[in-house]
Chain A
Amino acid sequence: ASTFSLLRCQKSCSLWKMEECEEEAVCVIMCASVKYNIRGPALIPRMKTKHRIYYITLFSIVLLGLIATGMFQFWPHSIESSNDWNVEKRSVRDVPVVRLPADSPIPERGDLSCRMHTCFDVYRCGFNPKNKIKVYIYALKKYVDDFGVPVSNTISREYNELLTAISDSDYYTDDINRACLFVPSIDVLNQNTLRIKETAQALAQLSRWDRGTNHLLFNMLPGGPPDYNTALDVPRDRALLAGGGFSTWTYRQGYDVSIPVYSPLSAEVDLPEKGPGPRRYFLLSSQVGLHPEYREDVEALQVKHGESVLVLDKCTNLSEGVLSVRKRCHKHQVFDYPQVLQEATFCVVLRGARLGQAVLSDVLQAGCVPVVIADSYILPFSEVLDWKRASVVVPEEKMSDVYSILQSIPQRQIEEMQRQARWFWEAYFQSIKAIALATLQIINDRIYPYAAISYEEWNDPPAVKWGSVSNPLFLPLIPPQSQGFTAIVLTYDRVESLFRVITEVSKVPSLSKLLVVWNNQNKNPPEDSLWPKIRVPLKVVRTAENKLSNRFFPYDEIETEAVLAIDDDIIMLTSDELQFGYEVWREFPDRLVGYPGRLHLWDHEMNKWKYESEWTNEVSMVLTGAAFYHKYFNYLYTYKMPGDIKNWVDAHMNCEDIAMNFLVANVTGKAVIKVTPRKKFKCPECTAIDGLSLDQTHMVERSECINKFASVFGTMPLKVVEHRADPVLYKDDFPEKLKSFPNIGSL
């Protein structure tokens, strides 16, 4: 044991009590043994050497044993809990059989007035730090009636996939007592495959049924002949229904979830994405088994508009062995389905007996814009998806006008719809898993609304999400002048210069507070009496470490929105210039408003970015040696800076200003504002305003910063502009006395 651990040991031994736990016991023994090791000869003087060796060996063994024990206490859990040990390999046929007596209770019919706050027991979902609901899945059972006849098929492939997806997700819990949502393993995806009364009885005998509270049923094909109800006919009381064919009459807004009818073709056929743009057919109808009236209507369209409309039907004369699902015919012409959908700009999705049609999924997959003709149909996930962006909904009575309605849509909008349609399929239709997770996310968002997913996250395709900028300070406000600004001076030990800066800055009328960030840990700031007496409060903050990012820390002392970051050697700015800078910031509160401007350039020879401080016609950065900005950017710099930039800046003691420029430009998408003309400096020693010499290595280092940051941000967020802000009457032929800011640009 090294001296260090010995020290720690002695310290801990004095604090810890022996009885508490075994790790502590280790320490005690260790301390004891160390003690004996060191002072051994004096302690056991009379003992024979042989005995001593024996004792020491004994102790070592005991020690080793205890250490090993301690390790086991922590280790073995992860070894044990691998899943394969527990999950049994079983067959669906071997599940337990449950006999349902004919007179077992039946749940009531669904309550149409159910809402989350009336029918859903939200207490089960309370206090969850991750804001995620917990979902429990009942074990699979086989239900039979009194005569031993099964109630339904045990489980379909899709429902098995769906339950697997839930079980693999973050929502899953195997603890029925902690669950907030219960998913029965009774498969009701297709109403035609089940016996309604018996299925209802099976639901009612679930262990936590409780009138169906917090139970979620998935159904894609509701209703049956002859009247085809638009919601599952199985009485289900208060259970939530994720249904694939709701109409406005059966859908309980904000309670049920409308889901797509999964198309098994999605898994079979791989349709690569086809770019948007005009396609061979303008309008295509690919559904088979249309109602004769509808078929007449679409065929009338074809007659009227000729080649650009294609109406397909079932093939009658296919040779043996050809899968009829994958073929469509027009007269004697045979087309591959769903590939033919990629040849059309718009695809008709007409209601059948059911409102929800699996063809919708195929159409979206093909990037064809669905023309939904199904009155009162609730489109899938309509609670969160904006179908206006991906589809055209046409009332049934307007079917004859479909063509002209579609033609009035501008080409640009059509292309956006095509992209959007494909994106909806990829994100929410593609697989049973996507459908299941979207359903749970919708319910989750209702229960934890403050952590809900936004409209943009649901609806914007990844390309749009990536390219778009949402300015955090988007409201056009001109903050009141009365608020003033807080000046933050970062200093190390240049006290004399610092005091001059303080005196100069304090002359600015709108200054409301001055904050000195004392970055020197080895030296105390001057005594209170030595500081210049100024008219505004002056606070000194001492930092724990000499880091450049201390300048951008969101100190509680900053009470104004505007912050002036100023170096402790910037004494050349006049009071007029600073006050004018503040006025400019008020008009651009979401930007960096600074004095010395800099530029980034693409170096074609070296193939990388280059930092430029010469007299250029363009500006893309301002130095934070003297710059106004919103204090929110301090928060962003300290807590939201991407990658390791913050640590990198602190380690290199350079480029904190470039990092700030990148951050603000990236988050707002806007350029900096440089104020007032460039200054020449009188003193030869301060050639650069950033306090460091303008030598070659410095420039190289700054260029490297730009390249490093651009790679971390993954893009070059800086914006180049050719303007700077001056007072309205700057250098105009106008009496100086009457100008608001006469002292601008003086040396």
Chain B
Amino acid sequence: MQSWRRKSLWLALSASWLLLVLLGGFSLLRLALPPRPSPRAPQGWPRWLDADLLQSFSQPGELPEDAAQPPRVPHGGSCNWGSCFDTSKCRGDGLKVFVYPAAGPISETHRKILASIEGSRFHTFSPAGACLLLLLSLDAQTGECSSMPLQWNRGRNHLVLRLHPAPCPRTFQLGQAMVAEASPTVDSFRAGFDVALPFLPEAHPLRGGAPGQLRQHSPQPRIALLALEEERGGWRTAGTNSSACSWDGRCEQDPGPGQTQRWEMLPNATFCLISGHRPQAASRFLQALQAGCIPVLLSPRWELPFSEVIDWTKAAIVADERLLLQVLAALQEMSPAKVLALRQQTQFLWDAYFSSVEKVIHTTLEVIQDRIFGTSAHPSLLWNSLPGALLALSTFSTSPQDFPFYYLQQGSRPEGRFSALIWVGASDQPPLKLIQAVAGSQHCAQILVLWSNERPLPSRWTETAVPLTVIDGRRKVSDRFFPYSTIRTDAILSLDAHSSLSTSEVDFAFVVWQSFPERMVGFLTSSHFWDEAHGGWGYTAERTNEFSMVLTMAAFYHRYYHTLFTHSLPKALRTLADEAPTCVDVLMNFLVAAVTKLPPIKVPYGKQRQEAAPLVPGGPEPGPKLQAPDPNCINQIAAAFGHMPLRSSHLRLDPVLFKDPVSVQRKKYRSLEKP
């Protein structure tokens, strides 16, 4: 027994020795011998001993040497912006567009597009004064092709607009004309000269258009990761398992019966895989965009729409189809923050540039105008963040800080002063009391009186602490939203002569506006509703639990909305406002809501005066201005906008201690609570 134990002990001992020798020996050997130079090339680029002695690639004397070459004329055949577009015609008021009238009978769409361009600020009726001549080639189905237009001039300063890729037999050479075409192939596309349009379906709405499908910011839990296109239209969602896809980009039918779901029109998934060729892929792309499904484009051979100005990397992923598996792995591992950002951007782009034919055409013209403007074009930020370049006019400013939308991105704040703009209408007395109240505000920088009264201007005004300017208006209601150059602050307090406000109301409302500089902050509200009986929109100024508009007779907003009101609204709408003065409130609210997609803000308004001197339209003192607007007005405006932009709000912003059971002495805005 003992010998067995001893033997086993010895065995263990010798085994350990053997191990030690085997393992340790090698390491010792390795340590003892100096490492031989590796047989491979030395790691990294060598540090040359004589690196300092090397000569420069261009000797000092050499650079000036490459001189004396006369300017060259561009090669024939191809065009670029500098060589084929004559910007000298576009001086002055920017882009003016002449549209060739269609020869012969035209389709309904064609007529509507013509009307839409004619209503826009770009349009001119004279081909001589135009800087861009637009040739619509729209009617794809009829196969009808336009003939050579009169002012053709080898296509110089012409834009041929093709909404649908119709293989129209070319009756004339395009020459130097630009082509705006739905998803052109990358090979034929002349970057910086042609314009890539989206591939619009036949039934694309002319105006307004359906909003994006996204109802919430983050993807719903358990939503499918991928949607794949079906052979015959529609979408199929696949699980997160990438093994269903093979290397060549084709994805096998998902085996699980419950996992596969078919979607006729809009996919419901986080990512939409789009491969294949145009036009099918291009139309899928637009569907995905609308659905908030992040498009993953596999080696598209076509130019993405408006790629000149839209930063598509913020809304889509353009990947190489040959790396499909790696792309799928990257999608699965994409951080929630990135998914969130991409999804939201799809919706913004859809809504800003693609949801209607009108937006697509206006975007096209805006792109060309930006080329003409050069340095005063939209900065990239304006194109690629809310509310988009169609609603952020570069004629207002090219500095993002001047707009109400980009304070956060710029890390700046709205300035702490406002201008009061008091509109004195036909039957109003000079608003001396109001001027005193407003001038008493510590934030007031200036007061402007817009005299729109039949009587002559009074020669004397009250003494105020702030400068007072009187503007002689043109007796039009839309005047009150004109961008007067005398307005020097970002914030405007719009008032009527018969409005009545206290200094502390003004102060509080202005402080609130500073938190919401892109919205309207008002005291009195009204709301819209769908009137079943009449089958149209209705309007009420009665006090309700919610509201969607604030009255501009007492409201704060950013001065940019004056520019937008005057320069971007169609003429017809401004005329409507002038003819039916009560409409102007509704119009302004529509405009701001269409830009912000958010409701306005209501702040408290002294109760006592609300009853004694009602500002509410339809109150006991119905002046000519105080009637509730004609329901026709709201319906006409809604029709012109193409959709109902107004949003309702349930809340009012009060001072923090408003009517709290605490000593009045502690409250900053105590006079707001006086009975």
Contacts and interface: CB of A to CB of B under 8 A. Distances in A.
A binds B: yes
Interface residues of B, number: 141
B330 A450 contact: yes
Contacts of B598: 476, 478, 587
A342 to B, nearest CB: 20
B314 A454 contact: yes
A4 interface: no
Interface stretch (A187-195, A302-310, A518-526, A682-690): A187-195
Interface in A653-677: 669-671, 674, 677
B651 A475 contact: no
B375 A392 contact: yes
B656 A90 contact: no
B16 interface: yes
A589 B187 CA distance: 45
9 closest Cβ contacts across the A-B interface? Answer: A467-B411, A289-B64, A167-B45, A353-B69, A289-B67, A156-B57, A475-B344, A740-B545, A189-B57
Contacts of A454: 313-314
Nearest to B189: A253
A256 to B, nearest CB: 13
A115 B652 contact: no
A395 interface: yes
Nearest to A358: B63
Interface string B428-467: 0000000000000000000000000000000000000000
Counting contact residues on chain A (CB < 8 A from B), the size range is: 35 or more
Given A87-B42, A174-B43, A248-B80, A630 B217 contact: yes
A449 B57 contact: no
B170 interface: no
A104 to B, nearest CB: 23
Contact of A477 (B20, B45, B216): B216
Interface string A120-143: 001101111001000001011000
A221 B66 CA distance: 10
A376 B327 CA distance: 36
A290 B23 contact: no
Find the residue from A123, A470, A474 having the highest chain B CB count within 10 A. A474
Nearest to B37: A86
A617 interface: yes
Interface in B205-242: 214-218, 220-221
A556 B221 contact: yes
Interface string B34-52: 0101101111111111110
Given A32-B12, A376-B83, A733-B607, A88 B650 contact: no
Contacts of A123: 322-323
Contact of A221 (B12, B57, B661, B668): B57
A475 B217 contact: yes
Given A90-B46, A483-B216, A587 B69 contact: no
Contacts, number: 415
Given A83-B44, A86-B42, A155-B54, 12 more contacts: A87-B43, A117-B299, A156-B56, A160-B45, A192-B62, A289-B66, A376-B74, A386-B380, A466-B411, A727-B650, A728-B543, A739-B545
A250 to B, nearest CB: 10
B255 interface: no
A117 B321 contact: yes
Nearest to B653: A723
A583 B317 CA distance: 35
B127 interface: no
Given A450-B330, A671-B515, A589 B651 contact: no
6 contacts: A66-B19, A66-B20, A221-B66, A475-B347, A556-B221, A726-B654
Interface stretch (A410-418, A602-610, A644-652): A410-418
Nearest to B331: A450
A90 B46 CA distance: 8
A632 B217 contact: yes
Contacts of A22: 19, 23
Contact of B13 (A58, A264, A314, A450): A58
B538 interface: no
Contacts of A412: 399
Contact of B40 (A125, A174, A376, A616): A174
B374 A405 contact: yes
A262 B56 CA distance: 11
Interface in A149-163: 153, 155-160, 163
Contacts of A723: 508, 511-512, 515, 603, 653-656
A449 B317 contact: yes
A55 B217 contact: no
B317 A619 contact: no
Contacts of A630: 217-218
Interface in B516-555: 525, 543-547
Given A87-B46, A156-B56, A615-B657, A228 B13 contact: no
B112 interface: no
A442 B16 CA distance: 58
Given A617-B657, A630-B217, A156 B60 contact: no
Interface stretch (B334-342, B492-500, B563-571, B581-589): B334-342
Interface string A430-458: 00000000000000000111111011000
Given A122-B320, A325-B60, A677 B658 contact: yes
Contact of B27 (A73, A294, A739): A73
B311 interface: yes
A740 B656 CA distance: 21
Contact of A66 (B23, B48, B67, B82): B23
B341 A617 contact: no
